Amino acid sequence: MRLSRYFLPVLKENPAEAQIVSHRLMLRAGMIKQASAGIYSWLPLGFKVLRKIEQIIHEEQARAGHIAMLMPTIQSAELWRESGRYDDYGEEMLRIRDRHDRDMLFTPTAEELITDIFRAHVGSYKDLPLTLYQIQWKFRDEIRPRFGVMRGREFYMKDGYNFDLTKEDALHAYNRHLVSYLRTYERMGLQAIPMRADSGPIGGDDTHEFLVLAETGESEVFYDSQITDLKFGDREIDYDDHAACQAVLEEFTSRYARTDETHDEAIFNEVPEERRRTARGIEVGQIFYFGTKYSDAMGATVTDDAGNKVPVHMGSHGIGVSRLLGAIIEASHDDKGIIWPEGVTPFHCGIVNLKQGDDEADAACDALYAALTALGLEPLYDDRKERAGAKFATMDLIGLPWRITVGPRGLKNGVVELTSRRTGESEELPPEEAVKRIAAIYQGAA
């Protein structure tokens, strides 16, 4: 993409309404625009990052054997009355009526709808285990939406649902999701710590939230510092191996890590004092096992191998896709702007032409652009007739991990400048070597 042809409405000043870094930088970088309280339009740059995050989630869900689908945003209230949650959910649920005076609602979550789909089409234990998921818009009518996409009313979410014959099988699905989530977040450049949490209106006894440590987090968290040394890395795991998935669960949840809702001071005091930590955390996902809560209420049964009808065991598993953009920025920024991890960057690198209109500089930039594009990479070429300082400021603000700077002086020596956004370090090298270096970086990050 050439910046002269792109829609990137950056702001020079900090918006007065933005209270936290991610909200401020997303507005300044032209990623979002508020449509109404807690509801945002996703402009091209923000939409590209949203799609990058979504793609990583789809890839890791497929790796774990989960199947994508799509459910509507508007649901019938009758399903929620079956489960008993329609009146219990509270004012966060946006209740509406259609022209035929039928009670409807804008989806805050989809346990009832997916259970209705399951009971209509699955009747035998031979069709289990089954995990279905979607990435879809949700709505919760927050009384005080704030912090941009971190606590909005409309949000983009991955929600998955497992159906299993036994509790043992359902807990394996829980473990499988924990493993897949660890992989997902690390690919986005995040350390998301699984913490014992409260189930809230979803229900169930087994639940972990995944939290990213950040000063602006909405939750107070208590944890053993050893947990921050854990990395899933590039290890391979067989998702059908119950023992292997259980071992990962134990590795990442055996040390103390809880939100304020489930914090136990007595247990926390058993952690050596030098390892006790208190911080703030941003919730970016949660996994639940709730057994037969919905299958009992809604008649979601299968016939087992003895011919008996039994309710299926279920769990649900969510990732806040739109919220993740805010969390990544909160965890990765500096005074100049965003610093995108390679896994989710909207463009793989920026190309800055220091002397637009100079034949040699223009030709060199065009050649870099063509070479990177031919390798399947997406560069953003700043071909505007702007001062160098303004171009650098834009690149720093939008946070592309790498920048290639091209100018007449360097070209006389046969070099361009390759700069890391994260470290600020620059290196001069021939244009073709800069292309090879960028390609190698992203091949390693894949």
In a 3-state reduction of DSSP, which class is residue 26? helix
Q: For residue 26, what are the contacts with CB-CB under 8 A and spacing of at least 6?
A: 32, 46, 148, 149, 325, 326, 329
Tokens of 262: 């489930």
Give the whole-angstrom CA distance, residue 283 versus residue 193. 9
Give the tokens for residue 24.
Answer: 């401020």
pLDDT tens, position by position, 200-252: 554 445 889 999 998 888 889 999 999 999 999 989 999 999 999 999 999 99
Residue ranges, the chain, pLDDT below 50: 202-204
- Identify the CA nearest to 235 among candidates 225, 248, 246: 248
CB 292 within 8 A of CB 314: yes
Whole-number Cα distances in Å, 235 to 64, 107, 179, 230: 14, 36, 11, 13
Q: Which two tokens stand for residue 95?
A: 């209740």
Q: What letter would DSSP give residue 68?
A: E
SS3 content of the chain, % helix, strand, coil (to 5): 35, 30, 35
Q: The tokens 């244009």 sit on which residue? A: 431
**Do 379 and 350 meet the contact criterion of CB atoms below 8 Å apart?**
yes
Of 364, 350, 367, give the one whose Cα is nearest residue 408: 364
**Torsion, CA 275, CA 278, CA 284, CA 288, rounded to 10:** 80
Give strand pairing partners of 160.
Answer: 133, 317
Task: State the Cα–Cα distance between residues 112 and 304, nearest whole angstrom.
Answer: 23
Spell out the alpha helix ranges (H) of 221-264.
242-253
